[in-house]
Amino acid sequence: MLNLKIKNNWTLSELEQIYNLPFNDLIWKSHKLHREFHDPNKIQISTLMSVKTGGCPEDCKYCSQSIRYETEINIENTLPLKEVITQAKQAKENGASRFCMGAAWRNLNNNNLSKIKEMIVGVKKLGLETCVTLGMLTEEQAIELKKSGLDYYNHNLDTSEEYYKKVVTTRSYKDRLNTIKYVRDAGIKVCCGGILGLGEENIDRIKLIHVLANLDEQPESVPINQLVKVKGTPFFDNADVDEFDFIRTIALARIAMPKSFIRLSAGRDSMNDQMQALCFFAGANSIFYGEELLTAKNSSVQHDQKLMKKLKIGTT
């Protein structure tokens, strides 16, 4: 019998065994566990906005905002507070309960910290949960963000530690883990997941889940992204992710992290409704609402509303 209780001492072989179950057995196990910890007919809605676009010095080989690649993204300065609040109000009107703000920085510098804190305070006043993704943080910056009322900090691991060096060379896996630790120690909830389609193997996806599930405290939110191929980036010609492999990863994340919200994130606009429905059955219970995710195209609000109605799923 597989041990499916909540734990953070999973072995890699345990997770491999689960991942490689017959497909129907895998998603049935993940769905049963999903029902124990979540309402299977509710989806949490977040909206993600770019508050500072382009000009990032990192070399993440999937990213449209890196200055190292010739993409169609224009560099934009940090947006004024008024514009951010206007977008947050619109997100709330569309049904979002969390507003996420992303900035294309390698790391947050103290000159920008005050601007971000103002945004957090302003969005919180609207009655929305707040999340930011700003690159690497120091311990002191995490504490300051917590004082401003920040609810979540997103900092993805992307892939396995072994494969990571083929994706990014301008920061280390340890750098990412350190930021996650500072966020957690400051009392901020952690949003941390990865991207499928970077050229990795299935074992890298399993290893990613292994790291996340074995953190001292599992992330409250786990975004699973499908690579959005951007012309001009090194990964533009990558092979598509097998749909069943993607669903298997969702199911594994649900089994390994029963309490976490598993977010079906970037790449949804290329998924048909049937695939998304299977992901929801396998344990995904959060999505991003809105026409764009930072700079990537997203499924339209109208389409998502139609899909939720078809599936008779409510939103939170």
Active site amino acids: 56, 60, 63, 100, 131, 191, 263
Residue in the block written with tokens 């997103």: 154
Residue 225: how many CA atoms within 13 Å on its side-chain side?
Answer: 22
Under 8 Å between Cβ of 4 and 254: no
Q: Where are the alpha helices (DSSP H) in the chain?
A: 12-19, 23-37, 81-93, 110-124, 139-147, 161-164, 173-185, 202-213, 243-256, 273-282, 301-311
What is the DSSP code string of 97-136? Answer: SEEEEEE--SB--HHHHHHHHHHHHHHHTTT-EEEEE-SB
Under 8 Å between Cβ of 42 and 91: no
In SS3 terms, 6-44 reads as CCCCCCHHHHHHHHCCCHHHHHHHHHHHHHHHCCCCEEE
For the record, the structure tokens of 246 come out as 């993607």
d(CA 15, CA 249): 10
Q: How far apart are the first and last CA of the chain?
A: 35
